[in-house]
Structure 1
Amino acid sequence: MVKKRRVFRTFKGIYKMIPYSRQFIDEDDKKAVLEVLNSDFLTTGPKVKEFENAICDYTDAKYAIAVSNGTAALHISSLILLNKGDLVLTTPNSFVATSNSILYAGANPLFVDIKEDGNIDLDKCIDIINQFGSKIKAIFLVHFSGNPVDMEKLAFIRRKYPEIKILEDASHAIGAKYKWKIDNEKGKISKIGDCKFSDITTFSFHPVKNITTGEGGAVLTNNEEIYKKALILRNHGIIRSDFENEDLAYDKKGNLNPWYYEMQELGFNYRISDIQCALGISQLKKLDKFIEKKHFLAKRYDEAFENTIIKPLYKFNEFSAYHLYVVRVDFSRLNITKAEFFYKLREDGIYLQLHYIPINKQPYYKKLGYGSENLPQMYKYYEEAFSIPLYYSLSEKEQNYVIKKLFEVLK
């Protein structure tokens, strides 16, 4: 049977789409990139370090290593934190890159169910740690949709189980904040990425994220040893100091051979260009403005969906970065399936998305023995959830159109 190709039409004309997310590039961004194109360095130049410093200034992390993409950031981090055979608690509600990075290191992901807000259930993590004890070596969590996990609970895990490595996959969450209080300290507000209760935080700068470098990512840490290891792994495992082969590094008079470098690790070409970093520097300056607009739009969605069949994933949270605006609908009560709903909205020019398919149900993971886990919240979430358009340049008129069409199709 030949499948018919659908022609998407909207109020703005044929083929015009309203995506679930998109980048915003202005003249300042273009100017920043053009300046690099006219400079002496297109890659491995001064803009890389400038971008890394800007990330540290924004998040309050001590070190940042910019890399080619978010998956590269996760890969490097996993190789640093994990050993072969380690058991790692992680979420099934993420892009596959999160758990894939655990496999890259020869470790084993153990999927933990999620909470109503889509984030990993840290209480269940604690239960599993108490059950398995020292077999659990790490937690790889995701701040899903830009909404931070319960950071006070994460701080509790950090204090009670200091031997467990913690990675925050903050691909959705640059610009997010959290409030924390330990013992009798006054409650404080910090930014995701400060690594206060983790060993590493990773970012992604893909175009659909809150800021973009085209493709790009970053590893953040407060640990100097992790920082140095990440720098080496980013660049083929090569160093230019602390050499082991002194007979090759120096001449007979003890002078350093100026051409010399040394590969000490099996590293990767995960470098990021100055062109990308110039864009990142410019974008980072606008991040708070981007999030402010997303907060405005999120509040409008919340008001439109109040006491209706469309349920926002969580009530408005001023600390969320709102990379995604996710809602849930109980399709089992309707005469339309979720797939039919997606197709009908696409015919109206609205491109919904699902974040995410349960990772443990992916065919590759099922071949590894996964797929039968008891994750009721995740499976229910998969049946009901979808992401609707939310991005800086989304106009109120377009948002009203989205809201109108959602209700029209669902009624």
Structure 2
Amino acid sequence: MHNEKHMRPIPYGRQNITESDIQAVVETLQSDFLTQGPKVAEFELAFARYVGARYAVAVSNGTAALHLCAMALGVNENSRVITTPITFVASANCVRYCGGTVEFADIDPATALIDIGQVRRMLEGKPKGYYSGIIPVDFAGNPVNLEVLRALADEHGLWIIEDAAHAPGGFFVDSQGERQFCGNGRYADMAIFSFHPVKHIATSEGGMVTTNDEELYRKLLLYRTHGITRDPAFMEENHGGWYMEMQALGYNYRIPDMLCALGITQLARADEGMARRREIAKVYDEAFAGAAGIEVLGTNPSAITESGETGHAYHLYVIQVADRKGLYNFLREHNIFAQVHYIPAHTMPYYRSLGYKKGDFPKAERYYEACLSLPMYPTLTNEEQQYVIEKVKGFCKA
């Protein structure tokens, strides 16, 4: 039996900072650049290579990444964009920042991913051009099948921003049997990632946009830094070496070199972290298989290879139980800090003020009533995981 008094608190997610991470940050602190220096480009290059995209633009956080994507695609007050209510609100807010209208599509209860069937019905119910784009979310690390979504988007003239904040290293298998990694730009116009501490790659705060489109890439670079360019090739006039041009209304969404130095060393361990996450998920899967009263959120079938390997990136491990509040409180009493992801966006007071109401998306609301994210991070020990399993099962049996 575990001695609970000596058990350290077990959160749902936790960063892993090593000596080499610390060293990389210290070296950057001692270098010539704290911001807009060489580490930014180095991190971008390494990340683009990691996901298999042509271009990557590092920014201050995942929300800034979403906002820049919406700007680069020209979202404005005439734009209508479809997204999922089961996500962090930033996936929807980025459309509102640009004055656009957000419309939600309900989820597939098996995976909690956006229901592509419902998206199709929404599109077919309106004239072409009514909707501008779609923001699918690789929720919990579970990849959306973007090949299917792309075909639908092309049919209706939509762009796609893939919110892959939960899924660096995740993949789905396309109709040719090829692995399509989240953010590789093959099907989405752009993808975004987040480097918040609980994510796969932690830089404390930080984000990334990936794309294969050079024109969008140029816009992202411009909007990231106040709409200013220093590149003579893109200037209207040039007064000399000091000259710069503000060509659009951009933002200061830059990321410091220190955080990029941390990102580079974190990225070097990404595969190892992913393997461990999948190992942890497998142990949970086996422990909860057939356990009465515990339902494990399913993996998108297109994210499973023929040999049974998973492309799920497991940012979160989600179960559903009848007495979610009871289990949440019980686990906290035993030093296990499970979390709920997410409160449906359309039920938030802000979105209710725009006309949404409870009852609009019953599947998302039912999912929310029962969902709980269990501890899932590479440094979770086998002993800690067994302790979590024992407590969850004990409560659900009672």
Question: With structure 1 as the length reference, what TM-score do the two structures score?
Answer: 0.90
1:378 alignment partner in structure 2: 364
SS of aligned partner of 1:302: helix
State whether structure 2 residue 133 is matched by structure 1 residue 153: no
Mark the runs of 5 or more structure 2 residues left unpaired by the alignment. Answer: 305-309
Q: Within the alignment, does 1:216 sit opposite 2:206 as a pair?
A: yes
1:240-279 residue pairs with structure 2 within 5 A? 240=230, 241=232, 242-244=234-236, 246=237, 249-250=238-239, 257-279=240-262
Query: Superposition pairs for residues 31-180 of structure 1, below 5 Å?
Result: 31-81=23-73, 82-115=75-108, 116-133=110-127, 134-161=129-156, 163-180=157-174
Question: Post-superposition shift, 1:175?
Answer: 0.8
The one-letter amino acid paired with 1:314 is G
Match of 1:287 in 2: 270
| CA distance in structure 1 between the aligned counterparts of 2:99 and 2:16, rounded to whole angstroms | 38
Instruction: Give the aligned partner of residue 10 of structure 2.
Output: 18
Q: RMSD value over aligned CA atoms?
A: 1.6
Residue 326 of structure 1 is aligned with which of 318, 323, 330? 318
Matched, 1:343 2:329: yes
Residue 59 of structure 1: how far off its partner (Å): 1.1
Give the alignment partner of residue 193 of structure 1, picking from 174, 178, 183: 183
In structure 2, distance between residues paired with 1:158 and 1:195: 15
CA contact (8 A) 1:151 1:179 kept: no
Consecutive unaligned residues in structure 1, runs of 5 or more? 1-8, 251-256, 332-337
Equivalent AA in structure 2 for residue 226 of structure 1: L
User: What CA distance in whole angstroms lies between the structure 1 residues aligned with 2:21 and 2:152?
Assistant: 41
Paired residues of 1:10 and 1:17 also in contact (CA < 8 A): no
% identical aligned pairs: 44
Gap change, CA 1:330 and 1:136, over 3 Å in 2 = same
Deviations 1:370-406 (A, max 9, x none): 1256312101101111100010000010000001111
SS at match of 2:201: coil
Displacement of 1:315 in angstroms is 5.2
Maintained 8 Å contact 1:158/1:197: no
The answer on whether the counterparts of 2:299 and 2:312 sit within 8 Å (CA) in structure 1 is no
Q: Deviations over 1:277-312 (max 9, x none)?
A: 111111111111101001111000011101112111
SS in 1 for 2:209: strand
CA distance in 1, matches of 2:246, 2:146: 39
What is the SS of the residue equivalent to 1:142?
coil
Distance verdict in 2 for CA 1:12–1:38, change over 3 Å: farther
Alignment of 1:303-322 (within 5 A): 303-308=286-291, 309-314=293-298, 318-322=310-314
The secondary structure found in structure 1 opposite 2:274 is: helix
1:158 Cα deviation after fit: 4.0
Number of equivalences: 382
Aligned to 2:307: none
Whether the 8 Å contact between 2:147 and 2:187 is mirrored in structure 1 is: no
SS class of match (1:166) = strand
Contact kept in structure 2, 1:10 and 1:348, CA below 8 Å:
no
Is the partner of 1:215 in helix, strand or coil?
Answer: coil
Distance 1:398 1:200 in 2: 38
**Does residue 219 of structure 2 align to residue 229 of structure 1?**
yes
**Distance in 2 (alpha carbons) for counterparts of 1:238 and 1:274:** 19
One-letter amino acid matched to 1:230? L
Name the CA distance, whole Å, in 2 between partners of 1:282 and 1:371.
44
Q: Kindly indicate whether the alpha-carbon contact (under 8 Å) linking 1:10 and 1:347 is maintained by their aligned counterparts in 2.
A: no
Q: Which amino acid aligns with 1:120?
A: I
Q: Do 2:63 and 2:94's aligned partners in 1 also have CA atoms closer than 8 Å?
A: yes
Instruction: Please list every run of at least 4 consecutive aligned residues from structure 1 whose deviation after the TM superposition is greater than 4 angstroms.
Output: none
Q: Secondary structure at the match of 1:371?
A: coil
Deviation at residue 10 of structure 1 after TM alignment: 7.5
Q: Please say if residues 195 and 206 of structure 2, whose CA atoms lie closer than 8 Å, have aligned partners that are also in contact.
A: yes
Contact 2:328 2:372 survives alignment (8 Å): no
1:301 aligns with 2:284: yes
Deviations 1:347-382 (A, max 9, x none): 100001110001001001111111256312101101
Return the letter of the residue paired with 2:209.
Answer: V
How far, CA to CA, are the matches of 2:177 and 2:147 in structure 1?
10
For the Cα contact (< 8 Å) 1:29–1:282, is it kept in 2? yes
Deviation at 1:12, TM superposition (A): 4.5
- Tell me what 1:361 maps to: 347
- What letter corresponds to residue 66 of structure 2 in structure 1? L
User: Aligned residue for 1:401?
Assistant: 387
SS at match of 1:132: coil
> What CA deviation, in whole Å up to 9, does each residue of 1:12-52 have, x standing for no partner?
438x3100001111112112112111211111111100100
Q: Distance in 2 between matches of 1:12 and 1:286?
A: 32
Between the aligned partners of 1:155 and 1:239, the Cα distance in structure 2 is 32
Give me the whole-angstrom Cα distance separating, in 1, the residues matched to 2:368 and 2:35.
41
